[in-house]
A and B are shown apart, each in its own frame.
Chain A
Amino acid sequence: MMKKLLLASALTSVAATSAMAEIKVGILHSLSGTMAISETTLKDTMLMLIEQQNAKGGVNGEMLVPVVVDPASDWPLFAEKARELISVENVDVIFGNWTSVSRKSVLPVIEELNGLLFYPVQYEGEESSKNVFYTGAAPNQQAIPATDYFLEELGVEKFALLGTDYVYPRTTNKILEQYLQDKGIASEDIFVNYTPFGHSDWSKIVSDVVALGADGKKVGVISTINGDANIGFYKELAAAGVSADDIPVVAFSVGEEELAGLDTTNLVGHLAAWNYFQSAEGEANAEFIKTWKAKMGEDRVTNDPMEAHYIGFNMWVNAATEAGTTDVDAVREKMYGQKFPNLTGGMAEMLPNHHLAKPVLIGEIQDNGQFDIISQTAEVPGDAWTDFLPESAVLKSDWKDLDCGMYNTETNSCVQVKSNY
């Protein structure tokens, strides 16, 4: 058996060498396991984008060939599949990952083999790898503007930071706690709670949050609750009769896709902060939604990470066209300063710290499962290292001029070239 497999693998590697004439695009999204819920959509988005690009004649006269693998929501498997994609399949670029753990799992492999990864999801920041372009939001492009909105527009004086127990909520909440304290919110007015993935027993937590209002201050919830757990949370919130006018909830991980699993009549007015909403008006967005629905079905929705892939992919295509090759280093050089129109209007720009400048949108949930955009900022440049934690404030990332992702501006030296995993 093993020998047979050995042979099979030997054959595939031979096949891979002879097929070098095309441009291979790796797609590293979980198609099974817990994350398949979110990631399958992104795989389909990529296939759609590649199809569209091939219809336009491919890149540099060559057709794009998608190579889809399934890391099955298993973090070590992400590393294994990434290695396979780069060293066996010889892909020129990878679009993939959703969770931070999976990204941290893939990082050492990508950096070792000098691959190129486009990561499309909002994340906790505090990272800038030479081989990764972060097309999702950094905390200052999502969490901070949303918190400002709470403070300035809604007059929230007491904060409940609810999150799923993993790195993104932990780091985001750490930044937010510091930020709120800097804004004059006392630490006893910040209530933090973490629940496990898929948590469903929310009654106690919701009643705790309601009870926060006992001292007469306006309470707001900042939710970094992930995935399925949101459904139980919002159901309990609706059951407790908490209206968005009494206790507004702003979520960073709830998009159109998540709302599809819910009856939203009781959630009208609660908020989400993203860089994209399906309800954004504009021709490019209408076109994008139309193509997506034609491909996947009328009832499917579009969401923020899909737009991130849309921007990332198009920037990569343009950079590869400018460079005349898909060689990783050549493309990376051309990526800096790449501009591409957002689906929500305005221009996204790739910065030397591998993050995008994108507008921040805040939307209110409507009863049809869509968002009503009530606030849209100008483009905010993504910040790899947050300004609100003292140990990160001194760091900056500039791969264009400084060739360093973790540059200490105090000592004027590069702390390290490779990332922390």
Chain B
Amino acid sequence: MLRVICALLLALFFIAPAYGQNAFQDLVQTHAPQIIKGSVKTAPAVIADIQATKSPAATTFLQNWQSKDLWYRRADDLIVTVTTDDNKTYTLLGLADQSVIGTAQKSEIKQIKPNSGLRGLLGTALVGAQLASDDLTTRRSSLESLARDPAPEHLAPLRAALNAETDADLRAKMLRLERLLTLQYDTDTDERVAAINGFAGDLGLDVRARLNPLLDTRLQLSQTPPAAGTFARMITPANDETLSVTDAYAMLVAKGWASADISSDDKRKTLIVNIENGTVGGVDIADLNTDENRDVAYAALVDAGIAPIDVSDADIVSAVETAYFYDTYIEQSPAVIAAAQTALKRINTKVAISQTVDLFLDGLSLASIFFLAAIGLAITFGVMRVINMAHGEFIMMGAYTGFVVQQVITNYTLSIIIAIPAAFAVTFAAGVAMERLIIRHLYHRPLETLLATFGVSIALQQLAKNIFGTQARPLTSPDWLGGAWQINDVIAISWIRVAIFVLSILFFLMLWFTLNKTRLGLETRAVTQNPRMAASMGINPDKINMLTFGLGSGIAGIAGVAIGLFAKVTSELGSDYIVQSFMTVVVGGVGNIWGTLAGAAMIGFLQKGIEWMNPSNTLAAQTFMIIFIIIFIQFRPRGIIALKGRAAGD
């Protein structure tokens, strides 16, 4: 609103006398239908018209249009800006001088909402004015919109703004854009080559987006060998992926250098048209159910001069062979082409290396997610040998705990800090309860534990549906986890994934320490290996089992918060991870958290690797990964890191 008032004041002082009060409004009204409809197709003419007035109102108007601050009165399409105190009654202000025109109810007026393409267009139109603005934010956003859609005529205002710019950061950005525009639009070849060379080895997306078009080619054909100049490469349709023989022939036909090939469908249509007394070209209709007979009938029609002659496959091949197909560069300057080629070659090598690093980071991130989901299992299943099919539901409970905490505490950072111990507490309690009520009675019947915990799993999942509904619930990460760690334009990883990675490492260290360096860990291992012996040594196996199971479940709860943050919170969250988690533990080797780490790493990297080889098919990657695991277990039935000695017994 402040802006409207400022504009109003400005207008009061600076109204150009040459342009009368209503002249500007009248001009706008002549374009009212186009402005209200707001299409990129009609807008340039309107913008040019309004800018031609050179009045300050024009700039204000365009800015208001861009920021969705224009309204129109439904009755007469009068375009205005508005102020309101209560969102019901609106005061309408004229465009030229912001004078009050009248008031209107909400239902009488309508906001004009230009689409983002049009907003971009308006932004570009305002570049000259905005780049010279006194306001830093305006200059910055103007530069951004210029970078999106530059044109040759922007080079001059940009250079002017560059010289005047005082802010160092913005100046650097301007300089970069200036270089980019220079290499693309400057009229001086040497300037362009210099600009290109200046970007050697810079793998920024913006650089590639300007360099690659310099090497765009156009497919040409001729009957004589191509001249040098901007010639790029020859194309032999018979063994070229980009141009098939059929398409090449179609080009010849389009040029008028060959007669059209008759498709079998056209042939069929011609036959149908020429049916006479149950025969076509002397062939009985009933016999036209083979291609051979149809060819005979068609040949008869050709002989009779009714149908155009069909081109044989051999003719097509030889016709294509006699013509020259080749690519030429659209760019006319050989020096620029050569410079761009050299620069891109270096850039592409860097891009390839960065992509490998990025793939590695993706794999690492996936591995840490698998690890996080599986680490609770590494304790309950790996150490205690309890098959807990409800493990996934513990993850889900953790995620829902996070959601509930966020409902109460609206500060995202604080809510996450509270949610993590809360999730641990909730699932720890659930784990202890389950251990006491169910698992305790089934320690000697592992397969039945599987079934009983599965019962718990379906009950919990349905309960979650009954309580929280079936919709996905939001679990929002705080802003400092929101963005991504952008190493360069190729390597980037979102902070939430980094956080998950750090969390998995923390868990790993914590668990490793607990199991190997504390009394609880020692007792846990003792109870797992020989409960009776442990009991006789003064350890209470019941208590130890309960605590260990609770610990494993509690960790699942924390994992749930993390997974909920990066994906979604639904009642099916847990079942998405359960099979993978079990496989992680089994592949890694039971009874050993190093094994779980190895298993998660292997599965994560493998899946990313297969996805990379077959990019458009994630499902296939998962299938092949599982098949690989099944085969892998053939060779290492006890996992990557197998326990030795008695502990390894079933």
Binding site for B on A (CB under 8 A): 32, 34, 36-37, 40, 149, 152-155, 165, 192-196, 198-201, 203-204, 207-208, 210-211, 213-216, 228, 231-232, 235-236, 238-241, 244-246, 248, 257-258, 260-263, 266, 269, 281, 362, 364, 372-375
CB-CB under 8 A from A263, the residues of chain B are 474, 476
* B148 and A246 contact, CB distance less than 8 A: yes
Find the A residue at minimum CB distance from B113: A374
- Complex CA gap A32/B465 in Å reads 9
Q: Is the interface of A mostly helix, strand, loop or mixed?
A: mixed
Q: B561 an interface residue at 8 Å Cβ cutoff?
A: no
Interface residues in B114-128 (C-beta closer than 8 Å to A): 114-120
Q: Please tell me which one of the listed residues A36, A248, A257 contacts residue B465 in the complex, with CB atoms under 8 A apart.
A: A36
* B619 and A239 contact, CB distance less than 8 A: no
CB-CB under 8 A from A216, the residues of chain B are 208-210, 212-213
Q: Please tell me which one of the listed residues A193, A196, A200, A246 contacts residue B567 in the complex, with CB atoms under 8 A apart.
A: A200
* A192 and B616 contact, CB distance less than 8 A: yes
Q: How near does chain B come to A243, taking the closest CB pair, in angstroms?
A: 9
How many residue pairs between the two chains, A and B, have CB atoms under 8 Å in the bound complex?
A: 145
* B366 and A201 contact, CB distance less than 8 A: yes
Q: How near does chain B come to A37, taking the closest CB pair, in angstroms?
A: 4
* B117 and A196 contact, CB distance less than 8 A: no
Q: How near does chain B come to A107, taking the closest CB pair, in angstroms?
A: 26
CB-CB under 8 A from B612, the residues of chain A are 204
* B472 and A153 contact, CB distance less than 8 A: no
* B616 and A193 contact, CB distance less than 8 A: yes
List 18 additional contacts besides A192-B616, A215-B213, A239-B483; criterion CB under 8 Å.
A152-B40, A154-B40, A194-B618, A198-B572, A201-B618, A203-B493, A207-B358, A210-B205, A214-B205, A228-B568, A231-B472, A245-B148, A260-B471, A261-B472, A261-B474, A261-B568, A263-B476, A364-B115
Q: B622 an interface residue at 8 Å Cβ cutoff?
A: yes
- Complex CA gap A176/B567 in Å reads 29
Find the A residue at minimum CB distance from B118: A153
Stretch at the interface among B85-93, B282-290, B494-502: B494-502
CB-CB under 8 A from A153, the residues of chain B are 39-41, 115, 117-118
* B616 and A194 contact, CB distance less than 8 A: yes
- Complex CA gap A16/B305 in Å reads 71
Q: B10 an interface residue at 8 Å Cβ cutoff?
A: no
* A235 and B566 contact, CB distance less than 8 A: yes
Interface centre among B115, B148, B496 (most CB of A within 10 A): B115
* A232 and B566 contact, CB distance less than 8 A: yes
CB-CB under 8 A from A194, the residues of chain B are 616-619
Interface centre among A37, A248, A258 (most CB of B within 10 A): A37
Q: B540 an interface residue at 8 Å Cβ cutoff?
A: no
Interface residues in B559-589 (C-beta closer than 8 Å to A): 566-570, 572, 576
* A155 and B116 contact, CB distance less than 8 A: no
* B117 and A155 contact, CB distance less than 8 A: yes
Q: B380 an interface residue at 8 Å Cβ cutoff?
A: no
A-B contact pairs, 21 of them (CB 8 A): A40-B470, A153-B39, A153-B41, A153-B115, A154-B40, A155-B117, A194-B619, A200-B568, A204-B612, A213-B205, A214-B208, A216-B212, A228-B472, A232-B567, A240-B492, A240-B494, A241-B483, A245-B145, A261-B474, A263-B474, A362-B115
Q: B608 an interface residue at 8 Å Cβ cutoff?
A: yes
Interface residues in B605-622 (C-beta closer than 8 Å to A): 608, 611-612, 615-619, 622
* B617 and A207 contact, CB distance less than 8 A: no
Chain B, residues 192-227, CB within 8 Å of chain A (1/0): the string is 000000000000010011101100100000000000
CB-CB under 8 A from B365, the residues of chain A are 203
CB-CB under 8 A from A154, the residues of chain B are 40, 115-117
Find the A residue at minimum CB distance from B111: A372
CB-CB under 8 A from A244, the residues of chain B are 116
- Complex CA gap A40/B471 in Å reads 10
CB-CB under 8 A from A213, the residues of chain B are 205, 209
CB-CB under 8 A from B484, the residues of chain A are 239-241
* B615 and A193 contact, CB distance less than 8 A: yes
CB-CB under 8 A from A32, the residues of chain B are 462, 465, 470
Q: How near does chain B come to A272, taking the closest CB pair, in angstroms?
A: 13
CB-CB under 8 A from A258, the residues of chain B are 472
* A214 and B209 contact, CB distance less than 8 A: yes
Interface centre among A192, A238, A373 (most CB of B within 10 A): A238
Q: B362 an interface residue at 8 Å Cβ cutoff?
A: yes
Known: A37-B471, A204-B362, A263-B476. A248 touches B116 (CB 8 A): yes
CB-CB under 8 A from A210, the residues of chain B are 205
Q: B473 an interface residue at 8 Å Cβ cutoff?
A: yes
Find the A residue at minimum CB distance from B41: A152
- Complex CA gap A193/B622 in Å reads 15
Q: Please tell me which one of the listed residues A201, A228, A262 contacts residue B474 in the complex, with CB atoms under 8 A apart.
A: A262
Known: A203-B362, A263-B476. A211 touches B576 (CB 8 A): no
CB-CB under 8 A from B119, the residues of chain A are 245
* B572 and A207 contact, CB distance less than 8 A: no
CB-CB under 8 A from B495, the residues of chain A are 239
* B148 and A34 contact, CB distance less than 8 A: no
Q: B503 an interface residue at 8 Å Cβ cutoff?
A: no
The 6 A-B residue pairs with the shortest CB-CB distance, nearest first, are: A239-B494, A261-B472, A216-B209, A200-B567, A231-B568, A153-B117
* A372 and B116 contact, CB distance less than 8 A: no
Interface centre among A231, A232, A260 (most CB of B within 10 A): A231
Q: How near does chain A come to B239, taking the closest CB pair, in angstroms?
A: 18
Known: A152-B41, A240-B492. A373 touches B113 (CB 8 A): yes
- Complex CA gap A152/B116 in Å reads 12
* A211 and B205 contact, CB distance less than 8 A: yes
Q: B157 an interface residue at 8 Å Cβ cutoff?
A: no
Q: Please tell me which one of the listed residues B110, B120, B358, B494 contacts residue A245 in the complex, with CB atoms under 8 A apart.
A: B120
* A196 and B572 contact, CB distance less than 8 A: no
